[in-house]
Amino acid sequence: MAAVGVFPVAGRGLHLALKPGKKPASIEGVTGAGSLGAHGAAHGVLYGCAVDVRALANDAAYAKLIREQCRILVAENAMKWGPLRPAVDKFNFDEADALVAFAEENKMKLRGHNLAWHRDNPRWIDATVTAANARQILTTHIETVAGRYAGRMHSWDVVNEAIEIKDGRADGMRNTVWLRLAGDDYLELAFRTARDADPQALLTYNDYGIEGETPEAEQKRQAVLGMLRRMVARRVPVDAVGVQAHLSALAVPASGTGPAYGDGMMRFIAAARELGLQVFITEMDVNDKASPANVAFRDAAVEATYKRFLDLVLADPAVRAVLTWGITDRYTWLDRESARSDGQPERPLPFDADYHAAPAFYAMRDAFDRRKA
């Protein structure tokens, strides 16, 4: 008999029942009709993931897993400025093209990520971009990149993470190279240029830190909505908002409480819907940094977080897509950029490092199934 552990979660009145080796609710397998892609599609949810294009080329099991599960893909890095534009007058599309070819061969949709961001930019940016040339350099980039894949993209993250309350502006705009040098209206320029370059793609504003019930998240939500309202009022072509959903595992006994997800997120989604926008969950993963090392405990905490968050957001019909940031724990960015202090690999994704479906997989699939399409 497998032991069943019950862990009290301080401050939340929540107990996680741990059943090691828990079997899926349904008897079907995890591929084909049992996949996340198939279950999502049956309930109006486009499921997919961010792809490490090098792993895709070198790891056949990874490619197989993606083929089995996904209906939409996004490059984890390959379509960012850094990899794509080694010099101001030079583009390198090798990896981006490889991903587009893979998606098209497998009849999957594609998201582009991204056309303007403050991070992962090439080194030449700081020395080269000036107030005199910034608008031209940004415009050329969007025309070249969005233009190259025109008609083949489901959506583009046109601008990523443009709000940062800590930067101290009344409008909440982040103080980036584009804001400083291309001007306060750089989002408008970027979205209009993207619409001209690819009239078919759903143009998306994407951000993080807007999911929780904290005052900081609420302030950021209000700033994002304010910016979107101003854009809509000026008829800037924006079609969707991306909620990254890099979440922290809900059950955190060590620190007493974990961030909860609730009404604030739902009000934000409803407000976006009322502005005529679709909502995509664009980069979901659940870090277990603050959880104890025990694997069954962590899996249960991550599972509970997927369930809670997806049940919440999928209740709103504006939410049309859910992408996880990676699909297997093997390649998660969290181990590179936000590692656990005990050195244990994190377990943030629907498939574990050996490509077995984790409790998070079943949490996602069951949440898709509960969704009224």
Beta strands in the chain (DSSP E): 5-9, 14-18, 46-51, 72-75, 109-113, 155-160, 202-207, 240-243, 246-248, 278-287, 319-324
Site string for ligand XIL, 185-224 (x = CB under 6 A): -----------------------x----------------
Beta carbon nearer to ligand XIL, 207 or 299: 207
Nearest approach in angstroms of CB 223 to ligand XIL is 17
Q: Name which of 149 and 208 has its Cβ closer to ligand XIL.
A: 208
Kindly report whether the peptide bond that precedes residue 294 is cis, defined as omega within 30 degrees of 0: no
Q: Which amino acid is at 327?
A: I
CA 349 to CA 253: how far, in whole Å? 21
Query: Which residue(s) pair with 16 in the sheet?
Result: 7
**Shortest gap between Cβ of 285 and ligand XIL (angstroms)?**
9
> Given candidates 35, 160, 287, 324, which one binds ligand XIL under the rule CB under 6 A?
160
Specify the residue, 77 or 305, whose C-beta has the smaller distance to ligand XIL.
77
Minimum separation from the CB atom of position 164 to ligand XIL (A): 13
Question: Would you say 34 or 326 has its CB closer to ligand XIL?
Answer: 326
In angstroms, the CA 6 to CA 67 distance is 37
3-state secondary structure of 200: coil
- Contact predicate 268/213, CB 8 Å: no
Torsion (CA) 181, 183, 187, 190 in degrees, nearest 10:
-60
> Which residue is associated with the tokens 């405990």?
297
- Compute the least distance from the CB of residue 158 to ligand XIL, in Å: 13
Q: Are 129 and 181 in contact (CB under 8 A)?
A: yes
* List 68, 95, 283, 285, residue binding ligand XIL (CB under 6 A): 283
Burial 185-219 (b: 16+ CB within 10 A, else e): ebbbbbbbbbbebbeebbbbbbbbbbbbeeeebbe
According to CB under 6 A, which residues from 309 to 338 bind ligand XIL?
A: 333
Task: Between 35 and 305, name the residue whose CB sits nearer to ligand XIL.
Answer: 305
Q: Which of residues 333-372 bind ligand XIL (CB under 6 A)?
A: 333
Tell me whether residue 346 or residue 366 sits nearer to ligand XIL (CB atom): 346
Q: Is the CB of 197 or the CB of 284 nearer to ligand XIL?
A: 284
Alpha-carbon gap, residue 319 to 324, rounded angstroms: 14
Report whether 86 contacts 96 (CB < 8 A). Answer: no
**By beta-carbon distance, which residue lies closest to ligand XIL?**
333
Minimum Å gap between C-beta 53 and ligand XIL is: 11
Considering the complex, what minimum distance in angstroms separates the CB of residue 124 from ligand XIL? 18
| DSSP state at residue 77 | S
C-alpha 331, offset from chain centre: 15
Contact between 120 and 160 under an 8 Å Cβ cutoff? The reply is no
Based on the shown chain and the rule CB under 6 A, indicate whether residue 176 belongs to the binding site for ligand XIL.
no
Of positions 120, 213, 216, 274, contacts ligand XIL by CB under 6 A = 120
- For ligand XIL (CB under 6 A), the number of binding residues is 8
Query: Site residues for ligand XIL, window 59-98 (CB under 6 A)?
Result: 76-77
Minimum CB distance to ligand XIL smaller for 285 or for 366: 285
Question: Distance of alpha carbon 122 from its chain centroid, rounded?
Answer: 22
Give the x/- contact pattern for ligand XIL in 244-263, rule: CB under 6 A. x-------------------
CB of residue 313 vs ligand XIL: minimum separation in angstroms? 18
Nearest approach, Cβ of 332 to ligand XIL (angstroms)? Answer: 8
Residue 94 or 369: the one with the smaller Cβ distance to ligand XIL is 94
Binding positions for ligand XIL, rule: CB under 6 A: 76-77, 120, 160, 208, 244, 283, 333
